[in-house]
Amino acid sequence: MKLDRLDAAALSALAVLMILIGVIVWRGDQVGVQIVRRTPAPDAQSVALRPTISFSFSEAMRPSSLEGRLEVTPLISGALRWDGNTVLFIPATPLQPNTVYTVTIRAGAHSEQGRPVLRDMTWSFRTGRLRVVYLSPALDPGDLYVLEIDAAASPRRLTAEPYGVFDFAISPDGRHIVYSAARDESGARDLWLIRLDGSQRELLVECNQQVCQSASWAADGIRVAFERRALVDGPLGRSPGPAHIWVVDITTRQVAPLFIGADGDAGPLGALPRWAPSGDRLSYYDPLASAVTVVDTRSGERVQLPSALGDSGAWSPDARELIFPDLLATDAGQFSQMLRADLISRVMTPVTVLTTTNDSSVAWSPAGDWIAFARKTVAAGVGFFSIGSQVWISRPDGSALRPLTAQPEYSYGGLSWSPDGRWIVAVRNLVQAPNGRPEIWLIRADGQSDEHRVLVTDATIPAWVP
């Protein structure tokens, strides 16, 4: 059968196409599967201490073929998760500060088409130094500063708000800060978003005739929960009214109430939202129920933990437990005691024996094996405000209880544990000077009191960069 010109051209084109496909397949087999993206980037500096290490392959892989081929040195444990062609390694504990980490993917993993990774891929990055963000001055309209620990550098100013910053929250990856700032003399406060270096300041939530504050980041680094309170006129002027919890998506800027009421309003009252370190659960304080409430924001399931003190609790690093204070009565009076709620088994137990003390400001260690808290002892015949709260630590079950400070003339609070577990940062005030300038102190978590030292004066609300 004789082919016409059109048929011959089509066959020629098909032949060329088959040759090209063969070359591509041959070339692909020669080059093998490639890694096309890595995070943190090769030679990255000042990486946050809680990074997600990820790398993307050039084609779909057989997940089982990667087993035993990922290595991070210094050695760290963590969870491995796949997202399409991308592998995410999430360290179980924070990395060490100012340390070079090397990631190696050994050759041998295979794609779904059977093509192998032909050669080892290695890259390194360096973590940042320990850094604390704080607000200064403490009693006047202040701004945010960041200070490196164990470095000769001076504090670096991050904001310049004409009416001051009220409070703030640092993102889980340590790259961004959401802060509440007064707009003008009306009392309204908006939410702003900046990078940790103070750049790219932008309005996140405009709160007309309202106060927006107490921001908390979700583990995904995208959602931020916050209090929203309408300004109410009263005999002493305008003041914030009852709180409702709202959530903003920092990528889309969509803002919505956490709960929507039957008439389409913001729903039940709630204050002090705090996201769990992982997952989608959020704790807040419900003033009408007098309870710490834990809600799964995906399923809507709620658990209420009775408490009279208005604190929404401190999450364990694994997001399984919540410690919060409650006010309990004894023959000697009413005192606050810390309670530990296991949200998996739904069992609640006291952390410590109820005595004539008031415990507050709970902070978990990064590994979850210790807690720090402020304890105020109320001695018989001594005024309630004459003895300052001291820093104590214990195991989460209350064992190995011991004080880290013994300075009753000072009161400690606002505790936060450093990502490497070595330090506890605290705000210290002189008890007999209620209008004095607070100081931020570093306290050795191992009890070496000779290494306690003042970090900065006239400052408050310290928070570690993750």
DSSP 155-216: PEE----TT-EEEEEE-TTSSEEEEEEE-STT--EEEEEEETTS-S-EEEE--TTEEEEEEE
**Model pLDDT for residues 237-263, shown as the tens digit of each residue:** 788 999 999 999 999 999 999 987 666
Mean pLDDT for the stretch of residues 261-284: 86
Q: Is the peptide bond before 74 cis (omega within 30 degrees of 0)?
A: yes
What's the pLDDT at 432? Answer: 81
Is the pLDDT assigned to residue 88 strictly greater than 60? yes
33-126, CATH topology level: Immunoglobulin-like (2.60.40)
Q: 3-class SS at 272?
A: strand
Confidence band of 328 (pLDDT split at 50, 70, 90): confident
CA separation for the pair 260, 355 (Å, rounded) = 41
Cα–Cα distance, 327 to 333 (Å, whole number) = 10
Average pLDDT over residues 27-49: 81
Q: What is the pLDDT of residues 67-82, one digit of tens each?
A: 888 999 999 888 888 8
Cα R_g (the chain), whole angstroms: 27
Q: How confident is the model at residue 23 (pLDDT cuts 50, 70, 90)?
A: very low
Amino acid 17: pLDDT: 53
The pLDDT value recorded for residue 20 is 47
* Dihedral sign for Cα atoms in the order 342, 343, 344, 347: positive
pLDDT value at position 24?
A: 46
List b or e across 94-122, with b for residues whose CB sees 16 or more CB atoms inside 10 angstroms: bbbbbeebebebeeebbbeeebebeeeee
Cβ neighbours for 444, distance < 8 A, ≥ 6 positions apart: 404, 422, 423, 424, 451, 452
Domain ranges within the chain, ordered by starting residue: 1-31, 33-126
- Of residues 335 and 226, the one with the higher pLDDT is 226
Residue 285 has pLDDT above 80, yes or no: yes
**Token digits for 453?**
């030292």
Span 147-175, average pLDDT: 91
Tens-digit pLDDT profile for residues 296-325: 999 999 999 999 998 999 999 999 999 999
User: How much is the pLDDT for 26?
Assistant: 45
* Local confidence band at 234 (pLDDT 50, 70, 90 cut-offs): confident
Cα-based distances in Å from 257 to 248, 260, 291, 380: 9, 6, 20, 47
The pLDDT, as a whole number, for residue 383 is: 47
Region 370-397 average pLDDT: 81
pLDDT band at 21 (very low <50, low <70, confident <90, very high): very low
Predicted confidence band at 150 (pLDDT cuts at 50, 70, 90)?
confident
Q: Cβ neighbours of residue 410 under 8 Å, at least 6 residues apart? A: 388, 428, 429, 430, 431
Taking the C-alpha atoms of residue 332 and residue 283, their distance in angstroms, rounded to an integer, is: 31
**Of all residues in the chain, what percent carry a pLDDT higher than 90?**
61
Please provide the size of the chain in residues. 466
pLDDT grade for 12, boundaries at 50, 70 and 90 = low
